[in-house]
Structure 1
Amino acid sequence: MKLKSLSQLIVAALATTSAVQLYAQQAPYQYSAYKTAQAPVLDGKLDDSVWQSIAASELFVNHNDNSVAEQQTWAKLAYDDQYLYVAFNSQDRDIAATLGQQDDPTYEYDDTVEIFLDPTGQGKNYYEIGISALTYYDSVINSPEPWQDDVPWDIEGLEYGIQVNGTINDNTDVDQGMTVELKIPLASLNYSGQDEGSNPSQWRFNFHRADYSTNSPQWEANAWLAWSPMGSFGFHQPTKFAYLNFKQDVLWQAGTAYTQNDQVSYLGSLYQALYYSSQAPGKSRQDGWRINSAEPQAWQANLVYLTGDVVSYKDQLWQAQWWSQSQQPQQAQDWLAVPAQAVPVE
């Protein structure tokens, strides 16, 4: 047994349970991608089980100074043994899109969402993929300084779906925005002659957005947004890209029957099934899930807790004395307040 101080546990608990903390990362950010057992349907609707099981990224910010963006954008990412899956949701009151051919530089005129991928983390030969309401582009940036790129290069097998909620190039009405799904074959990320997509562990990457209005002049975007901010002007700063960590834990899948000891990831937390369950973790008192984490999490009424489990509740840590569900800490004998000095952790 190891002992952790109460102050350490409180910090860990608050960091993992508070929604506010989702916006407290320091650049470059970290993103954990989990495996999916079922690929999303590429219709741009983002209603697939895979996306419902993933917490949205922090909202994109103005990339050069980390200030709050006027229009909200978030993204999600998952993978399986063959593909990388990406989802974008961009709020937009005026959707602009004029260029329609593959590899057109939509980022110069049109609303565009982008993902940069650097599997080797070396800042060279990294991939840039952008989607507008009308088309997409893909290219390899051989080197940002001095600038060298390979625009004619194509990702073999790239697929995507778009849902436009509004009217394109009409600033007389108010649009809602655009949602995008991408399916990127890992095997196609082999520009340098090696299969950079096999056995992924940690890459460098980032999400971006160019936000234009109808009839905007070239390069005069309303905002240049990023998920992990750059700190200065320009998206192409690979030393400041975020870290992408590939996790082996599988996302919870709707319609799947889970049995005892099955483990899934759901909204950023890991859960273990104590008995048969086909419901999402924490949604029902009959779902049979317990949280599986080395650090304390916020108490949830519908989860099962076993002897020794530690939770946070009303700024206090509590330890389960036996099997417990629905019994609030501080109001039931199921729980004992953790002493101020230390708490045992396996």
Structure 2
Amino acid sequence: MKHLIHICFGIVFFAGHAQDKAKAIDVSVIASVVIPKHYLISKTSENITVDGKASELSWENADFTDYFIDIEGVIDPKYKTKTKMLWDDQYLYVYAELSEPHIWGTLKQRDTIIYYNNDFEVFIDPSQTGIGYGEIEINALNTVWDLYLNKPYRIGGHANFEWNLNELKSAIQIHGSLNNPNDIDSLWTAEMAIPLKPLIALKNRPKSVPKEGEQWRINFSRVQWDHDIIDGEYYRKKEDGKFSHEHNWVWSNQKVINMHEPEKWGILQFTEKSTAQGVPYIKDEDLLIKQTAFALFRKTRYKNLKYLLDEQQGNKKELNVTMSKDNSVKAIFHKTLFGFEYKIKSPITDITYIINQEGTLKKL
């Protein structure tokens, strides 16, 4: 009997030990993690005339971003796009140059869905939370669509078309001709003065003008359509009676055809100096950890870790997460009453982060 007890205990111990080992799930997020680009924006004391020319000395001293890339980061865009920024106590200024051999536009009504034309788009999240952000789109006719999203579409967000930036100033310059298919154009430029007051309202506290070193999230997108010329007019290209897919080109890589993953947007850092040269970028030591948390959220809610949602409430799973070629971290999945959450402890700062089924990231 004694030997039988030992045997049974051994079987139970072995089974329990095997079960513990089985709880660890190996997962890689390398392909989906994005380390955003950053831009240091200098403060201007000049009176900026919004004319699409950006001829002021402050503009000349401001650096352009890198050229835009394909939204999935796979192919090189057909045409070049770049932008630069300035700010003062009233406005965030954006200037963009878009190379284009055929400049055209048809939409003239404000708050029309502008991306049905070739357009330039700005996405701004002053709170850096991905909750409550603004979007501005503009075409070569200087037609604007400005809207507010309470949260991303992926978690049930709604667009508010009534959110109008009434003090927005914008201008377009055409280097070539507009809506004339009989010649080859060079580029078009877009310049905006985006009022700071409604953007400050989207910040967490303090709701004040940006201070030295303050960071927001921002990204830019260019939507480009292939076109047909019919009876001397431009139309979006159709194949088998359906519009061809548009091209999407961005500043900071999204890795998917979806601008509404705001955790991937670039980082905008404010300086009160007249030039950003010599101003150090304030690096977030836990940026990779945070981006890994978002990647786990996306994988669990929408992709190959979705099976974890079938776990019983209260169940936990340990994950061994490969974040990059040289970095890995442990994460704990917890099935909750409302969905799920992950806990990840940073090996750099010892801070524990929690992200839930809504993509809300917090420090523990």
What is the TM-score of this pair, normalised by structure 2?
A: 0.59
Give secondary structure in 2 for the equivalent of 1:147.
coil
**Matched-pair contact (CA < 8 Å) for 2:85–2:93:** yes
TM-aligned CA distance change 1:197 to 1:186, over 3 Å: farther
2:135 aligned partner: 128
What is the correspondence of 1:1-346 to structure 2 with a 5 Å cutoff? 27-107=35-115, 109-134=116-141, 135-144=143-152, 145=154, 146-189=156-199, 196=207, 198-200=209-211, 201-212=214-225, 213=227, 214-217=234-237, 220=244, 222-250=246-274, 265=275, 268-270=276-278
TM-aligned CA distance change 1:100 to 1:125, over 3 Å: same
Aligned identity (percent) is 29
Q: Distance in 2 between matches of 1:77 and 1:293?
A: 17
Superposed CA offset, 1:233-269 (max 9, x none): 111111111111001211xxxxxxxxxxxxxx2xx52
Q: Distance in 1 between matches of 2:188 and 2:128?
A: 30
TM-aligned CA distance change 1:230 to 1:106, over 3 Å: same
Q: Distance in 1 between matches of 2:220 and 2:47?
A: 21
Higher helix share: 2
Give secondary structure in 2 for the equivalent of 1:174.
coil
Gaps in structure 2 of 5+ consecutive residues? 1-33, 228-233, 282-364
Paired positions, count: 231
Superposed CA offset, 1:298-336 (max 9, x none): xxxxxxxxxxxxxxxxxxxxxxxxxxxxxxxxxxxxxxx
2:13 aligned partner: none
Superposed CA offset, 1:72-92 (max 9, x none): 000001101121110000000
Residue 153 of structure 1 deviates from its aligned partner by: 1.1
Superposed CA offset, 1:152-185 (max 9, x none): 1101311011101222233332111111110011
Superposed CA offset, 1:116-175 (max 9, x none): 000001112100011111211100011222231101110131101110122223333211
Give secondary structure in 1 for the equivalent of 2:272.
strand
Moved over 4 A (4+): 190-197
What is the TM-score of this pair, normalised by structure 1?
A: 0.62
Question: Which has the higher Rg, Structure 1 or Structure 2?
Answer: 2
**Matched-pair contact (CA < 8 Å) for 1:31–1:244:** yes
The amino acid that maps onto 1:208 is: S
Residue 50 of structure 1 deviates from its aligned partner by: 1.5
Residue 191 of structure 1 deviates from its aligned partner by: 5.3
The amino acid that maps onto 2:180 is: D
The amino acid that maps onto 1:97 is: G
Moved more, 95-104 or 191-200: 191-200
**Matched-pair contact (CA < 8 Å) for 1:211–1:221:** no
Gaps in structure 1 of 5+ consecutive residues? 1-25, 251-264, 271-291, 295-346
TM-aligned CA distance change 1:192 to 1:207, over 3 Å: closer
- Cα RMSD of the aligned pairs, angstroms, is 2.4
Give secondary structure in 2 for the equivalent of 1:245.
strand
